[in-house]
C-alpha cells in the first residue's frame, strides 16, 4: 500500500463544491466529488430543506419542517456533504451565495434555464466574481433548443431519449426500464466527468467554464448503434423483450427451480461453447446455427432450445455448467440475492454506516475504485443546516447580529 493511500489522501482534497441542485442528477455529481475529497456544501431552502429528504423510505430522523423523516434516499445520495440553509431567491441570500462562490471551485445547479439568471446567479454573474469557477448545469433538455423551458424528470428523459420505446415485450406497451431514476444517475456521472475535465482545463488556462447537460442526452448516448443504423438504413429498432439485436442467444432464461439467468453469446465461439455445455455440439455446425447469420433469423428456435435446457436444471446447475464451459452467464439477482452474494461482499459494494438517530444504514460503495487515492464515505446525508455555523461564522466571518438578522428575514 502506498504512502498516499495510508495517509488517506484523496484526489479532490482542497476542492470546494456548492451543491445548489435538487433531487438526484446534480446532487449525485456533487456526491461523487465528495467521495473523492471535495468539500461539498449543500444549499437547502430554509425550513423545508431539499425535496429529496422526503422522497423514498422515511427514517426516524426528522430534520425539516413537515418532513416524513429524512429518507434512505437522502441518507444515501447526500453522503459526504455539509448542509446549510439559504434562500437564493432573497437578494441577501443571493449575495451570500456570491460570496461563497468567490471561495469555491464548483457550483452544481439544475433549475430551469434562466432561473439562476433571474436571481443574479447565472454563470456570467458568478464568473465575474470567480473567473475560475466551474458550473454544472443539469436540466431536462439543456440550456438551449425549443424544449429548454420544459420540466424534466428521469422518466421523461427515458421516454424522450429513446430507451422507453425499446423497453418491454414486442406485443406489449413500452415500460420503464426498472423502477429507477437511471437518467438522473447517468447524468450525475456525466456531470462529474464534465466537471473534472473543466477543472483539468482550468489547471492549464486558469479559466473556468460551465457544463451544460440534458437528462435525455445521457440516455440517448447509451443506445449503441441505434442512431447510425437508422441514418444509414432507416431501421427502427422495436421492443424485443429480454432479447437484443444482432446477437443470439443473448437473453434471459428460466431455470427449473423458478429462478432466471442471463446468458450472453456475443459471437460464434461462445455459442459453440454453449452448444457443447448443453450436450448438443452439433448445433454449432455451419449448416445448423454455427454462425450469427444462421442463428439470428432463427432466434426464437435457438432461444427455445436454450430455454428447454435451462428449464430442466436448477439455477446452480446451469451456473456451474456454464462456468465450467466458459459461457457468460449470471443469475438475475433480486436485492436479497445481492446481499447474499459473496462477490458484492468481497468488492465492498455494500457499506454499513452508523447514522445517529437512525442506526445502521447499508448503502452502495464508492465507485470507481482507485488504487492509490481511493474515495470513501465519511458520512451519510446530513441534518438540515448542520454546517450553518461552520460556514456562516467560519468561512464568511458573520457575527451573531448578522446571523440573527438573516434568520429573522428567513434568508437562512
Q: What domain count does the chain have?
A: 2
Band of the pLDDT at 101, cuts 50, 70, 90? very high
CA 111 from chain centre, in angstroms, equals 18
User: What pLDDT is stored for residue 9 in this prediction?
Assistant: 92
CA 158 from chain centre, in angstroms, equals 14
User: Domain for residue 75, yes or no?
Assistant: yes
User: What pLDDT is stored for residue 178 in this prediction?
Assistant: 84
β-pair type (134-139, 359-364)? unpaired
User: Domain for residue 40, yes or no?
Assistant: yes
- pLDDT for 136-187, tens place per residue? 999 999 999 999 999 999 999 999 999 999 999 999 999 988 878 999 999 9
- pLDDT for 293-349, tens place per residue? 999 999 999 999 999 999 999 999 999 999 999 999 999 999 999 999 999 999 999
Are 376 and 322 found together in one domain?
no
Backbone angles phi, psi at 33, to 5 degrees: -60, -40
Are 183 and 52 found together in one domain?
yes
Instruction: State which residues form the domain around 23.
Output: 3-221+349-408
- pLDDT for 244-294, tens place per residue? 998 999 999 999 999 999 999 999 999 999 999 999 999 999 999 999 999
pTM score: 0.94
How far, in Å, are 226, 228, 229, 293 from residue 232 at the CA level?
A: 10, 6, 5, 20
3-class SS of residue 289: coil
Residues 398/392, Cβ–Cβ less than 8 Å: yes
Q: What is the CATH number of the domain that holds 284?
A: 3.30.1540.10
User: Domain for residue 344, yes or no?
Assistant: no
User: Domain for residue 165, yes or no?
Assistant: yes
Band of the pLDDT at 7, cuts 50, 70, 90? low
Are 182 and 293 found together in one domain?
no
Instruction: Dig out the grid coordinates for 210 from the structure.
Output: 460551465
Are 8 and 148 found together in one domain?
yes
- Residue 264 forms beta bridges with which residues? 250
Residues 225/203, Cβ–Cβ less than 8 Å: no
Are 281 and 315 found together in one domain?
yes
Are 318 and 367 found together in one domain?
no
User: What pLDDT is stored for residue 3 in this prediction?
Assistant: 38
Find the mean pLDDT for residues 47-67.
92
Are 325 and 369 found together in one domain?
no
Is residue 6's pLDDT more than 70?
A: no
- 50, 184, 224, 316: the catalytic one is 184
Are 38 and 151 found together in one domain?
yes
Number of helices and strands in the chain (H, E): 19, 11
User: What pLDDT is stored for residue 4 in this prediction?
Assistant: 40
Per the annotation, the verdict on 70 as an active-site residue is no
Q: What is the CATH number of the domain that holds 86?
A: 3.40.50.10540
CA 331 from chain centre, in angstroms, equals 23
Q: What is the mean pLDDT of the chain?
A: 96
Are 9 and 129 found together in one domain?
yes
By C-alpha distance, which of 133, 138, 143, 137 is closest to 199? Answer: 133
Provide, for the chain, the percentages of residues in helix, strand and coil under a 3-state DSSP scheme, each rounded to the nearest 5.
Answer: 40, 15, 45
CA angle 123, 10, 130 (to 5 degrees): 20
User: Domain for residue 228, yes or no?
Assistant: no
User: Domain for residue 230, yes or no?
Assistant: no
Amino acid at each position: 500500500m502506498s504512502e498516499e493511500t495510508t495517509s488517506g489522501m484523496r484526489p479532490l482534497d482542497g476542492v470546494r463544491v456548492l451543491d445548489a441542485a435538487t433531487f438526484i442528477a446534480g446532487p449525485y455529481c456533487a456526491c461523487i466529488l465528495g467521495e473523492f475529497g471535495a468539500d461539498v456544501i449543500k444549499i437547502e431552502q430554509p425550513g423545508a430543506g431539499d425535496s429529496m429528504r422526503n422522497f423514498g423510505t422515511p427514517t426516524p430522523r426528522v430534520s425539516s419542517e413537515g418532513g416524513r423523516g429524512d429518507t434512505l434516499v437522502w441518507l444515501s445520495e447526500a453522503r459526504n456533504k455539509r448542509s446549510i440553509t439559504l434562500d437564493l431567491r432573497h437578494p441577501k441570500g443571493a449575495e451570500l451565495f456570491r460570496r461563497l462562490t468567490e471561495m469555491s471551485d464548483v457550483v452544481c445547479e439544475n433549475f430551469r434555464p434562466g432561473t439562476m439568471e433571474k436571481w443574479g446567479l447565472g454563470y456570467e454573474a458568478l464568473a465575474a466574481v470567480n473567473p475560475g469557477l466551474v458550473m454544472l448545469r443539469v436540466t431536462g433538455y439543456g440550456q438551449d433548443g425549443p424544449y429548454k423551458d420544459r420540466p424534466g424528470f428521469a422518466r421523461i428523459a427515458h421516454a424522450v431519449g429513446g430507451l422507453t420505446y425499446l423497453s418491454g415485450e414486442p406485443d406489449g406497451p413500452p415500460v420503464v426500464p426498472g423502477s429507477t431514476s437511471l437518467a438522473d444517475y447517468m447524468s450525475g456521472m456525466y456531470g462529474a466527468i464534465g466537471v473534472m475535465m473543466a477543472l483539468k482545463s482550468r489547471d492549464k488556462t486558469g479559466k473556468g467554464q460551465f457544463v451544460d447537460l440534458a437528462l435525455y442526452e445521457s440516455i440517448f448516448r447509451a443506445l449503441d448503434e441505434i442512431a447510425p443504423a437508422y441514418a444509414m438504413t432507416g431501421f427502427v429498432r422495436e421492443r424485443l423483450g429480454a432479447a437484443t439485436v444482432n446477437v443470439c442467444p443473448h437473453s434471459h432464461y428460466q431455470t427449473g427451480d423458478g429462478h432466471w439467468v442471463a446468458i450472453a453469446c456475443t459471437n460464434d465461439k461462445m455459442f459453440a461453447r454453449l452448444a457443447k455445455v448443453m450436450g448438443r455440439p452439433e448445433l454449432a455446425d455451419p449448416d445448423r446455427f454455427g454462425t450469427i447469420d444462421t442463428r439470428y433469423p432463427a432466434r426464437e428456435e435457438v432461444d427455445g432450445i436454450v430455454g428447454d435446457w435451462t428449464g430442466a436444471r436448477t439455477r446452480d446447475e446451469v451456473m456451474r455448467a456454464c462456468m465450467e464451459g466458459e459461457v457468460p452467464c449470471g443469475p438475475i439477482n433480486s436485492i436479497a440475492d445481492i446481499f447474499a452474494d459473496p462477490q458484492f461482499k468481497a468488492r465492498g459494494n455494500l457499506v454499513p454506516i452508523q447514522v445517529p438517530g437512525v442506526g445502521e444504514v447499508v448503502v452502495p460503495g464508492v465507485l470507481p475504485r482507485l488504487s492509490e487515492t481511493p474515495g470513501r464515505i465519511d458520512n451519510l446525508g446530513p441534518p438540515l443546516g448542520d454546517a450553518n455555523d461552520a460556514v456562516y461564522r467560519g468561512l464568511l466571518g458573520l457575527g451573531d447580529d448578522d446571523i440573527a438578522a438573516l434568520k429573522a428575514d428567513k434568508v437562512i
